[in-house]
């Protein structure tokens, strides 16, 4: 026998799996992704424009040359349970303008990832984008009770790294030569939020999302600085 510590004890109860159900916010609705969303998503792609093509730079798929190609991809992507995908419908536009997923779902380890985040050009850096991410974060950490929420991205993806920091994720480090994506080496940056950190992170995001924080044209008055 040894008294060597192997870490603090935790609740080992497996966490529930996410369900393919809608999530409702003030500025956005999340709907289980389906091929019915493809016509609107195709418009959101802004295919052939610099902004549209750049929105796929760090994704493992895209851009799509035709609506039929997008439909073929979504037809498969929408049916998987890990990742589980939702279409994002901002109330301001009324159309499906992006998607995001919960993935790498580990009920026994109480660990889950927010990832595969693709927002069309007109939705990027918007209130709807922040609330869409928050809805799944809160579902995973609050409703389902996961202990660890992961965010990872290409280490060269500066906007994604900034988004992780803004939402209150803690940078954990890099995995070098972690993946090959579109024929290129990818180093991955890892970020996380733990269950004891979530209440403060949650409160900071909710405060930013308050109606009083937005002016008449929908611009935020205060920036989001997630609590440490």
Q: What is the pLDDT along the chain (228 residues), one digit of tens a residue?
A: 567 788 999 999 999 999 999 999 999 999 999 999 999 999 999 999 999 999 999 999 999 999 999 999 999 999 999 999 999 999 999 999 999 999 999 999 999 999 999 999 999 999 999 999 999 999 999 999 999 999 999 999 999 999 999 999 999 999 999 999 999 999 999 999 999 999 999 999 999 999 999 998 888 999 997 555
Helix runs in the chain, H state only? 38-45, 50-54, 67-77, 127-138, 158-166, 198-209
3-state secondary structure of 202: helix
Please, what's the b/e burial string for 90-129 (b: 16 or more CB within 10 A of its CB; e: otherwise)?
A: beebebbbbbbbbbebbeeebbbbbbbbbbbbbbbebbbb
Domain residue spans of the chain: 23-213
The superfamily CATH assigns to domain 23-213 is Gcn5-related N-acetyltransferase (GNAT) (3.40.630.30)
pTM for the whole thing? 0.95
């Amino acid at each position: 026998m040894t008294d060597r510590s192997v870490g603090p004890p935790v609740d080992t109860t497996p966490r529930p799996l996410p369900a393919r159900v809608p999530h409702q916010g003030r500025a956005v609705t999340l709907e289980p992704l389906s091929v019915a969303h493809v016509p609107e998503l195709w418009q959101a792609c802004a295919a052939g424009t610099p902004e549209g093509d750049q929105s796929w730079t760090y994704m493992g798929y895209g851009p799509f040359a035709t609506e039929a190609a997008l439909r073929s991809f979504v037809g498969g992507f929408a049916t998987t349970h890990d990742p589980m995908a939702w279409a994002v419908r901002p109330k301001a536009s009324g159309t499906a303008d992006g998607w995001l997923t919960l993935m790498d779902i580990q009920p026994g380890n109480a660990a889950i990832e927010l990832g595969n985040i693709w927002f069309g050009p007109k939705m990027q850096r918007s209130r709807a984008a922040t609330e869409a991410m928050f809805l799944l974060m809160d579902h995973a950490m609050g409703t389902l009770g996961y202990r660890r929420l992961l965010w990872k991205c290409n280490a060269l993806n500066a906007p994604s790294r900034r988004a992780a920091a803004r939402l209150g994720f803690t940078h954990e480090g890099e995995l070098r030569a972690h993946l090959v994506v579109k024929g290129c080496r990818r180093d991955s940056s890892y970020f996380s939020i733990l269950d004891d950190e979530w209440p403060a992170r949650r409160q900071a995001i909710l405060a930013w999302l308050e109606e009083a924080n937005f002016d008449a044209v929908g611009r935020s008055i205060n920036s989001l600085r997630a609590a440490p």
